[in-house]
Amino acid sequence: MNPVSDKRQMSSGFSLPRHVGIIMDGNGRWASARSLPRFEGHRRGVEAVRRTVRAASDLGISYLTLYSFSSENWSRPEQEVSDLLGLLKLFIRNDLSALNKQNVRVRVIGSRVGLAPDLSSLLDEAQDLTKDNTGLTLIIAFNYGGRQEIAEAAKQLAIRAVRGEIDPASIDPAAISASLYTAEFPDPDLIIRTSGEQRLSNFLMWQSAYAELVFLPIHWPDFDRAALETALTQYGTRERRFGGVVPRNAMTGS
């Protein structure tokens, strides 16, 4: 979707992003630094998710996308994958009612191919229960990969072209955007990554073309409202030109 100007502001006077994406990184390193098992890092990471959802809702952010499990994460040790899936199930079962009461709408993006039926049903339940809510839209990127998403969109467009449903010459960026998992959402204005790493790791590759990127040195289990506000403040100082030029009067105030 095309970038949309948003005039909402934080109390500091900075503009507020409409859509924030977060790469939740550093659970394992947080645990290692404390001589704790990796599972404890992931468990504490779930607590950070709860804090962040509440903070984003309170601050007036409309869309929050969390990179919960990438399509590459299946290559991790079997026990760790099992732990991560177990925590996701536990989060949905324990927090879904509270999210619904908070007027949060839950959406899940990513491939469902090969998922266990009980997990797929649980994801559907989260979406169905909250589909009419009008507050924060919480987008959970699960079994998600940006390159795979783009490839799948291209494949679907190619199938439609072969069937004669669309003219190949009509395929443009808008057509690709409309074929992605995120077609119903605006592109992210801000991408945050924790743990100090400075890369996107296959997260919203197409959608983040014009997003502002903020990399924070803290590990995800330590992320809280103050950290979110730090990232939002950095975002508020950026000049978003979308490939254009900032008008001189906007720069000088005249």
Q: Is 25 a catalytic residue?
A: yes
Based on the residue annotation, tell me whether 249 is a catalytic residue of this protein.
Answer: no
- Report the residue count for the chain: 254
Indicate which residue of 25, 95, 187, 189 is catalytic. Answer: 25
Catalytic residue, chosen from 6, 73, 222, 224, is 73
By annotation, the residues acting in catalysis are 25, 73
